[in-house]
Structure 1
Amino acid sequence: MPQFQRRCSAARTMKKSTQRRPTMTDIAKLTGVSQSTVSLVLNNATGAKFSEATRNKVLKAAHDLGYRLSLREPVSASSDERNLIVYLADEISTSPHPVVNVDGARDAAYASGKMLAVYSTHGNADIEKQVLDATLSNPHVFGVIYATVYTRKVTPPVALSQVPTVLLNCYTGEGGFSSVVPAEVAGGHLATDYLLQAGHRRIGYINGEPWQDASKDRLKGYRTALATADLPFAPEMVRDGDWSSGLGFELTLSLMREPNPPTAIFCANDLTAIGAIEALKQLGLRVPEDVSVLGYDDQEIARHTHPPLSTVVLPNYELGRWAVETLLQEEHNRAAGAPVRHRMVKLDGPLVERASVRVITEAKKPITNIISD
């Protein structure tokens, strides 16, 4: 049976066995295409460049999973209707992730008869104030999604306390707003446990910039998975990187210099994993036959590496969608006189199996003396 047919059969089984609402992330995992492509197909976007085969594959997976995208006709603005959601982001163009956040937010807004207006401030407080001064005076503004490019604690502008607001990829210590962030500890645990289940016991980890929340939490997930498997944490198996392929390359060479080097390397993002794959090839090692490599984020390029990269999905689309849906629900509760309880939600993503991880079925001789100091 072809691989995609097997996946569709699994999708039908999953549909019957769970009550969780299927998401575009699930469709992306099932079909092997990006979350953005899934959104374009399901929204019947004009001018999108993808093949008919891709379109049919996405539609079939959506049908098999029981996914439904309930779009409405655009709603004409009237003098008394608030139909505009302001999406205020510090950065959009410096990373592939924020654009997919916007996709999810836009689809959720449009499905509820709202429009999304996106503003990027480049983290400049003056620009942020100008945007808020200009937009919040608009009587059609329904609320605000306040988003950051990387997960962090924030102090939202005071003006947001006067308008319904949900935080995306950020949070406050006071709890005055609902927020949604990725479940990074769970993601780090999922990735490491996957390698453990494949039989690996010496698992290297190349992190991102250590001061960032995502790096701290993914490392915590890595350590928790090792502890759950009754394996000691080995500091020599961990390197602090900077999310780049270049440092991923150098740090992989460093890991392989260890007297007892890893049989698998978990990289905190896909770009780092690409550098790891290239470093191993330079050493004359095969991926995954000699060393397995696992990424994180599921960027588009992960499908096109050699071999294709197994990775954990960062659920960017679902984060954006959740933020808008929560904004709508909280305002509905206010209008009905019901209490609004702010909450912080962490969304996790699935692991996508491709071809960069080997299952160890028998004792494997450790790789030693790969590089001399």
Structure 2
Amino acid sequence: MHKPTGIKDRRVTMSDVANLAQCSQSTVSVVLSPDSKIKISKDTRERILKAAATLGYSIERAPTPRVGPLRRIAVVFDDLTVCPEAVIAVDGVREFTWETGDIVSAYNCHADPQMEERTLAAILRDSPSAIVYTTVRTRLVEVPEQLYKTEASVVLLNCYSKDRAFPSVVPGDVAGANRATDVLIAAGHRRIAHITGEAWMDVSKDRNRGYREALATADIPFDPELVREGNWQLGSGYDATLSLMRMARPPTAIFCSNDRMAIGCYEALKEMRLNIPDDVSVVGFDDDEIASQLNPKLTTLKFPRHQMGIWAAERALAPGHSREDTYRIVKIECELVERQSVARFPSANRTARVTAL
């Protein structure tokens, strides 16, 4: 195993180990936990230990209780049922607090305003040190009034408020989508389609903006016919791909705004007997666990949930906490994960099947 580029100058995380070992972060956590009794196959265990050693990830770590009172951090989600992967942010918070032995708790409000109010009231009764208020989709939020009144440090994760009254951290979606599109441009593609999320969402707007900016930088005219609106689910990626490939001049590459829609894209292309990446190159976004299991493995952008959790914890527990009038929104880079779903255009063995559709 070779240490991937892009992490040489930053702290190695459990997410990096999982990516190199090609397994879930949960499995890495089990293998690297000295007290775990869960049985993991010898092959997987050795692969994870080798990845950890390659990256220089510290295995022999134990919490060192800090001097002073125990701090408690509450991470409050809007609705984890929409995107279970969002819980990875809690691992980021926990990793930052690991060496001090501080306590992290997570709560899910199931998108119910009354449940959110009751949950926050219960959390605040116990006088937490910090609250990380987070949404599973990047968006503008109205921060609950209770959080304006508390003396606890409050940080917004994956969301932001209009008044900028709290520190907030979000993914760099515009730059990430720009990079995803640029990967396809650098491979020689000019007919690049984009399957977006629902148009009203901030994340959809930002990723579409990044796509268009990359085209403009490369002097490729924007063609609205190459854009299809999806809904983040497999079915919409499938339907959008069928529609795109039936055009008189179909695209040679497709950028999907998330990995779920990329799975649907894969299914449609394979149903049409088109080869990925020789006939059509595909890039996704988020780096969900399934991305490394597809055939071919999906090139995608990593949603920096873990890094955002680390930043939120560091900011929330910074010494000398005092509320400022306004805060800037911090954006965390979405790292490119290059796999096998992109090929140069025209590829040596590209067939004429596309034009026959």
**TM-score past 0.5 threshold:** yes
Residue identity (%) = 44
Cα pair 2:65 2:100 within 8 Å, conserved: no
How far, CA to CA, are the matches of 2:170 and 2:118 in structure 1?
26
Structure 2 residue corresponding to 1:150, chosen from 137, 158, 174: 137
Q: CA deviation at 1:37?
A: 3.7
Cα pair 1:202 1:262 within 8 Å, conserved: yes
What amino acid maps onto 2:261 in structure 1?
T
Structure 2 gap ranges (5+): none
Structure 2 residue corresponding to 1:251, chosen from 240, 256, 262: 240
1:344 paired with 2:329, answer yes
How far, CA to CA, are the matches of 2:100 and 2:340 in structure 1?
40
1:240 paired with 2:225, answer no
How far, CA to CA, are the matches of 1:252 and 1:370 in structure 2?
16
1:116 paired with 2:101, answer no
Cα pair 2:172 2:331 within 8 Å, conserved: yes
1:107 paired with 2:95, answer yes
Structure 1 residue corresponding to 2:276, chosen from 268, 272, 287: 287
Structure 1 match to 2:11: 21
1:315 paired with 2:304, answer yes
TM-score normalised per structure 2 = 0.89
What amino acid maps onto 2:176 in structure 1?
G
**Structure 1 pair 48–222 and aligned structure 2 pair: CA distance change class (3 A):** farther
1:88 paired with 2:76, answer yes
How far, CA to CA, are the matches of 1:52 and 1:326 in structure 2?
39
What amino acid maps onto 1:116 in structure 2?
V
What amino acid maps onto 1:213 in structure 2?
D
Q: CA deviation at 1:130?
A: 1.4
Structure 2 match to 1:175: 164
Cα pair 2:80 2:108 within 8 Å, conserved: yes
How far, CA to CA, are the matches of 2:352 and 2:330 in structure 1?
42
**Structure 1 pair 97–267 and aligned structure 2 pair: CA distance change class (3 A):** same
1:65 paired with 2:52, answer no
Structure 2 match to 1:297: 286
**Structure 1 pair 271–47 and aligned structure 2 pair: CA distance change class (3 A):** farther
Structure 1 gap ranges (5+): none
How far, CA to CA, are the matches of 1:290 and 1:338 in structure 2?
54
**Structure 1 pair 220–368 and aligned structure 2 pair: CA distance change class (3 A):** same
What amino acid maps onto 1:350 in structure 2?
E
SS at match of 2:129: strand
Q: CA deviation at 1:123?
A: 2.1
How many residue pairs get aligned? The number is: 354
TM-score normalised per structure 1 = 0.85
Q: CA deviation at 1:40?
A: 4.1
**Structure 1 pair 91–27 and aligned structure 2 pair: CA distance change class (3 A):** same
- Cα-Cα RMSD: 2.8
**Structure 1 pair 311–227 and aligned structure 2 pair: CA distance change class (3 A):** same
**Structure 1 pair 292–362 and aligned structure 2 pair: CA distance change class (3 A):** closer
Structure 2 residue corresponding to 1:206, chosen from 195, 209, 217: 195
Higher alpha-carbon deviation: 127-136 or 237-246: 127-136
Structure 2 residue corresponding to 1:165, chosen from 147, 154, 171: 154
1:278 paired with 2:263, answer no
